[in-house]
Amino acid sequence: MPRTGVFICHCGTNIAGTVDIARAIDASRNFPGVVHADEYRYLCSEMGQDLIKNAINENNLDRVVVGTCSPRMHEGTFRKAAAEAGLNPYMLEVANIREHCSWVHRDIEEGTPKAIALLRAAAAKVALNDPLDSPELEVEKRALVIGGGIAGIQAAIDIAEAGYVVDVVEREPSIGGRMAQLEKTFPTLDCSACILTPKMVEAAQHPNINLITYSEVEEVKGFVGQFDVKIKMKARSIDPVKCTGCGVCYEKCPAKAPSEFEMGMTKRKAIYVPFPQAVPNVPVIDRENCLYFKKGRCQICAKECPPQAVDYEQQDQIIERRYGAIIVATGFDQLDPSSYGEYGYGQHPDILTALEFERLFNASGPTGGKVVRLSDGKPPKKVVFIQCIGSRDKARGMNYCSKICCMFTAKQAILLKEKVPDAKSYVFYIDVRTAGKGYEEFQRRAAEEYDVAYLRGQVGKIFPEGDHLVVHGVDSLSGKVVDIKADMVVLAAASIARADAPEVGRIVGINSDSYHFFNEAHPKLKPVETHTAGVFIAGACQAPKDIPDTVAQAGAAAVKAIGLLSKDVLKGEACTAIVNQAECSGCLYCEAVCPYNAINHIEIEERYHEEMHKRTVAEVNPSLCQGCGSCSVACRSGSINLKGFTNEQILAEVDAICLQR
Amino acid sequence: MRYRYFPGCTLKGQAKNMENTTMAAAHALGIELVELDQWQCCGAVYPLYEDELISLLSPVRTLAAAEGEPLVSLCAACHHVLKRAQELMQRNEDARHKVTDYLEVDYKGEGRVLHFLEVLRDDLGFDKLKEMIKKPLEGRKIAAYYGCLLLRPSKVMQFDDPENPTIMEDLIKALGAEVVKSPYRTECCGAYLSVSEEAVARDTVSKIINSAREAGAEALITACPLCRYNLENCVDQDGKEPVKVYYFSELLAEAMGLQFDQLMSKALERRRGKNGNQQ
C-alpha cells in the first residue's frame, strides 16, 4: 500500500481565495493511500520545502502530491526537495490547482470541489508511479554558429573567449552581413566598417574560431549536446591556402554580374570578393557568370594568378561534424517595395530603398561615396524619405513595426545634409518611434539642427515630372494634400525574414512566427532559447532589431551555449517512451509519428512452437525521445507506454475525476 | 464569342455613342453581345454598408438574368456594381439567401462578369485585335484615363493592377496609336462633386487634363460616362490646345474603319432585328 503525503499551497490568496483549503485537506485525508495531509501559505518557500521534507521523513512517505501552481513553475523545485528527503524525484506529482482551478473560478463553491478532484486524480496517479532515472548524455564541446553577420560574429567571439571551439557557417563569400553594408551607425554616427572590421578580423584570427564561408548547413540530426551536422562548402574555385588576396584575378576578369553586396546597383566581376574588407580575403568564382564555366574559354584569372591558386576543378564538399550547441543568427532581408505600385520603385532610378541609399554614402559604393542621383549624377537637393513601407500595414504588408527605420531615416537625413549642405529632407511618417538610449535626442537633432521636415502622413503616389519626382502625399496634421517636387525618394522598406528562413527552421528544427521570424522559447524569460534544447537564436532572424540589441542578444545566446558546453554530461528526459516488445506487432505507426526520429525498428528472435522466429519490433532511443507521447497514442496494440505518463496512470486520473464524487 | 450584354441607363442616353461604337466594333470583331431582356437599373452606387441589401436587389436580378452566361457591360459604374454584388453573393451566404429569397431567383454567384475591355484583353486578345485593325491610328498620341471604378477595390474587381494598370495602354498600342502615360491617370475625376462642389471637381479634372497635355497627349480615352462628363465639363483648358476625351470604343471603332453613318445604321438594324418594332 502506498504511503502518500498531500501538501496544499495557499499561494497567498491566489489559491486560498477560491479554494477552501481546510476542506481540501479533509478530503485529501480520505484518498486511497494518503497517510498525511498538510497545508502552507507558500510551499515553494524554503520553509514550505522543509515542511515537505520533514513530513516525508517523519511519516515515512514514499509518494508526494503537491497541490500548487502549474508544474511548469515549480515541479522542479518540489522534485528536488523530495530527492533531498531521499525519494526518487519522480515519486512526486503536482496537482495544478492554481492555473487550472483557482485562477479560472470566482466562486469558492466551484473552486473547492474542482481542487479536490484534481488532488484526488494526482493521488491516484502517484500511487502508480515508479522511480525513474534520467539518462546521461555526453556533450560535444564545440559550437556551431549559423550566419556570419554581427550577431554570429559576436556570439562566436564570446564562445571562443570562453575556451570552446566554434564554427561559423556563412553563406556568402565573406562574413560581415548587413552591418558591412552600412556606412554609419546610429545614434553615434560611427563608421560601421570601423567598428565591424576589427571584430571580423578578431573572428578570423581567433584560434578557437573556424570560419566556414561560402557554405550552408544542409542537415542537422541528433539532439542537445550531440547535434550531427552536415555543412556544404560550395566550391570556391580558389585554393584558400595558396591565395594571397592580391586581387589580380578580379582586376583582370572580363565577365561581369550585378553585385549582390551593392544591391545590384553596380557590377562585380565573375571572380570577386564582395567588398574590400572581406574576411576571408579569398575570392570566389561565380560559375554562372564565369566565361570559362559558361563557354569553356578565358581562364585569364588562372593565368594571371601569381600563386596559381585558381582551381576550376574544385568540387562542393560536405563537412560532417558534431556540435554540442547551435546558434542560429541568419539575419533579415529588406522587403522589395515594387509590390507597392504607388511608390514607383523599380520604375525610376531615383526611387531607392534605404539600404540602396545607404550604399551611396560609402566610399567603395556604386557612386564612390558621392551622394548623387543615379539618373543624372547630380547631387539631390530635395529628398523625400517615406517610412513604414510594408511595416505596420495590416492590409498589404506586415502588421509589425520594423523598429529600426525611424532611426536609420534620421541618420540618413543627417548624413545627407553633411554631404550635400543645401539639401532639404522631408520625412513622411506614421509615428516617430525612437525608444533607445540616445535615440530620441538623435532624431530631434535631425529635425531641429539638420532641417529635416517631418510630415505626419502617407504618400499616395510618386511620379516623374520633368527632372523631378512628384511626391503626392498628405500632411495629416495640417490636413493638407502636399506635392513635393523631389530629386530623390528613399523608401524605408520593412525588415522581413529571409526568404529561406522556413527552410533553415526546418533543417535546424526550430519554429517561427507567421512572418517566418524564429520563435524564442518564451517572449520574456527565454528570449534566446528555442523550443529545441541546445539551439539558440540571435539577431534579426528573431525579429527586426538594431545593432545594439543584436549584439546584446548574441552575447546572451553565447552565454547559454557556453553554459551548455561547460557541462560534461547532461541529464536527459526521464519520461521517455518504452516498447513492450512482446506485444509489439511491428506495424511501426509509432516510427512514422515520432517527431524526433527517436524510434527505430529492430529484429528480435523468439521461440514459438518450439522453433526460433524472427520478427520486427519498434525500439525507442531514450536519448532522442523527448517524451511527447505521440507514439503511445498511435500504437494500435497499446504496447508503447510513456514512462511517468503510462496509460494506466492516465486512466487512474480519469477514473479519479469522473467516477468518484 | 457570345455574351449577355447589360447596357445600363447612361448608354441609352448620354453615352449613346459608347454603345453604338462598341456594338459596331464588336460585330466586326465577331463578338456577339446579346442585350438582356427587360433590364433595369444596375443599382448605380454600390452600398457602403454590407447589410444594405435593398440596393443589391437590382444588380442581383441582373446577374441572375444572365443565366450563367458571361455578362458584359460597358459603363464602368455598372460593371463596378455588378462585379461587387456578385462578389458579395459568393462570399456572404446569409446576404445571398436574403436577396435571392426576396427576388425568388436562384443565383449562387456564378457566371463571369466582365467589362468589355476585359473581353478584348482576355477572350479576344490584343494581339488578335491588332491583326484585325483596318486603319491603325498612326501618329495619334493617346493617354488612358482609368478613374477609380474599374480598378478598385482591386481584390474584388480583379481588373488590373490598381496602381500601375496597363489594359487601356495595351489597347491604345493595339490600335496603332502612341501611348502617352500621364501620372494622373488613376486619380479621381471628382465624381458627383461636379454637381455639388464644382470647384473641387474643376481642381482635380484640371490636374488630370493638364498632366496629360504636358505628357504630350492629344486625347484621353475613358470607359466611364461620369469621368467623361467631368473631364469635358469641369475643365479650364486655359486657352491651350484642348485635350479631347473619347470613349475607348470610339477609337476602337475608328481603327476598325467603321464610319459614323455605318455605325448608326448598323446599330439601328441590329435593334430592329432583335426587338422588332422597338426603337
Residues of chain B with C-beta less than 8 angstroms from the C-beta of A474: none
Q: State the average pLDDT over residues A326-351.
A: 95
Distance from CA of A344 to the nearest CA of B (A): 9
Is there a contact between A463 and B183 if contact means CB atoms under 8 Å apart? yes
Cβ–Cβ of B183/A470 closer than 8 Å?
A: yes
In this structure, the number of other CB atoms found within 10 A of the CB of residue A504 comes to 22
**Nearest-by-CA chain B residue for A341:** B163
Partner-chain residue, chosen from A340, A341, A465, that has the shortest CB–CB distance to B183:
A465
pLDDT category of residue A173 using cuts at 50, 70 and 90: very high
Judge: B162–A340 Cβ closer than 8 Å, yes or no.
Answer: no
What is the CATH T-level fold of the domain A332-496, as seen in this structure?
FAD/NAD(P)-binding domain (3.50.50)
B50 touches chain A (CB under 8 A): no
pLDDT in tens, A645-657: 999 999 999 999 9
A/B interface, count of CB pairs below 8 Å? 15
Fold entry, domain B133-255: Rossmann fold (3.40.50)
Residues pairing with A169 in the sheet = A146, A212
Asked if ipTM goes beyond 0.85, one says no
What pLDDT was estimated at residue A51? 96
Confidence of residue A584 (pLDDT cuts 50, 70, 90): very high
Percentage of chain A with pLDDT > 70? 100
pTM as predicted: 0.82
Range list for CATH 3.50.50.60 in chain A = 142-331+532-565, 332-496
Q: Specify which residues A459 forms β-bridges with.
A: A473
* CATH tag, A4-126: 3.40.50
Shortest Cα distance, chain B CAs vs residue A499, angstroms: 24
d(CA B140, nearest CA chain A) in Å: 22
A461: chain B residues, CB-CB within 8 Å: 183, 187
HSE-CB of A554 using CA atoms within 13 angstroms: 28
Q: Determine the average pLDDT of the residues in A40-59.
A: 96
Facing A341 at nearest CB: one of B161, B211, B214: B161
- Predicted pLDDT of residue A276: 94
Task: Evaluate if residue A541 carries a pLDDT over 50.
Answer: yes
The confidence score (pLDDT) of residue B262 equals 62
Ordered DSSP codes for B112-161: -EEEHHHIIIIII-HHHHHHH-SS--TT-EEEE---STTTSSHHHH-SS-
A339 chain-B contacts, CB cut-off 8 A: none
Q: Output the pLDDT for position B6.
A: 97
Query: Which chain B residues have a beta carbon less than 8 Å from that of A483?
Result: none
Encode pLDDT of A395-446 as tens digits. 899 999 999 999 999 999 999 999 999 999 999 999 999 999 999 999 999 9
**Most A CBs within 10 Å: which of B146, B156, B164, B180, as the mutation test of the A interface?**
B164
Confidence at A18, pLDDT banded by 50, 70, 90: very high
Q: Where are the alpha helices (DSSP H) in B6-153?
A: 16-29, 57-65, 76-91, 93-103, 116-118, 126-132
Mapped to the 3 state alphabet, what secondary structure does A90-142 carry?
HHEEEEECCCCCHHHCCCHHHHHHHHHHHHHHHHHHHCCCCCCCCCEEECCCE
For residue B165, the chain A residue with the least C-alpha distance is: A341
Contacts 24+ apart (CB under 8 A), A617-622: A617/A579, A617/A581, A617/A584, A617/A586, A618/A579, A618/A581, A618/A584, A618/A586, A618/A588, A618/A590, A618/A591, A619/A579, A619/A581, A620/A576, A620/A577, A620/A578, A620/A579, A622/A135, A622/A572, A622/A573, A622/A576, A622/A598
Separation CA A226–CA B181 (nearest Å): 63
* pLDDT higher than threshold 60 for residue A387: yes
Q: Where does CATH 3.30.70.3270 sit in chain A?
A: 577-643
User: Nearest CA to CA, how far is A433 from chain B (Å)?
Assistant: 29
pLDDT interval class at A531 (50, 70, 90): confident
Contacts of A340 in chain B (CB under 8 A): 163
Residue of chain A with shortest Cα separation from B161: A341
Least Cα separation, residue A631 to chain B (angstroms): 41
**Which stretches of chain B score pLDDT less than 70?**
260-279
Question: Per the structure block, which three cell numbers stand in for A287?
Answer: 560559375
All cell numbers assigned to A302: 588562372
Residue A596 has pLDDT above 90, yes or no: no
For the residues A370-380, what does the mean pLDDT come to? 96
**Interchain proximity B214–A465, CB inside 8 Å:** yes
Nearest CA to A490 out of A376, A398, A411, A402 is that of A411
Confidence of residue A625 (pLDDT cuts 50, 70, 90): confident
Lateral strand order in the sheet of A92-96: A34-40, A4-9, A63-68, A92-96
State whether B163 and A340 contact (CB < 8 Å). yes
Q: Which fold has domain B2-117+259-275?
A: Glutathione S-transferase Yfyf (Class Pi); Chain A, domain 2 (1.20.1050)
Q: Is the Cβ pair B163, A464 closer than 8 Å?
A: no
- Min distance B164 CA to chain A CA atoms (Å): 6
> Mean per-residue pLDDT for A621-643?
91
Average pLDDT of the residues of chain A? 95
Partner A, chain B 166-225, Cβ-Cβ below 8 Å: 183, 187, 211, 214
- To which residue does cell 503511445 refer? A632
The answer to whether the CB atoms of B162 and A341 lie below 8 A apart is yes
- List chain B domain ranges: 2-117+259-275, 133-255
**Domain A577-643: CATH class, spelled out:** alpha beta
Using CB atoms, which residue from B163, B211, B214 is nearest to A342? B163
| Cα distances (angstroms) measured from residue A210 to each of A153, A241, B79 | 11, 14, 65
Percentage, residues of chain A above pLDDT 90: 93
CATH topology of domain A142-331+532-565: FAD/NAD(P)-binding domain (3.50.50)
Residue A571's pLDDT is: 86
Chain B: closest CA distance from residue A396 (Å): 11
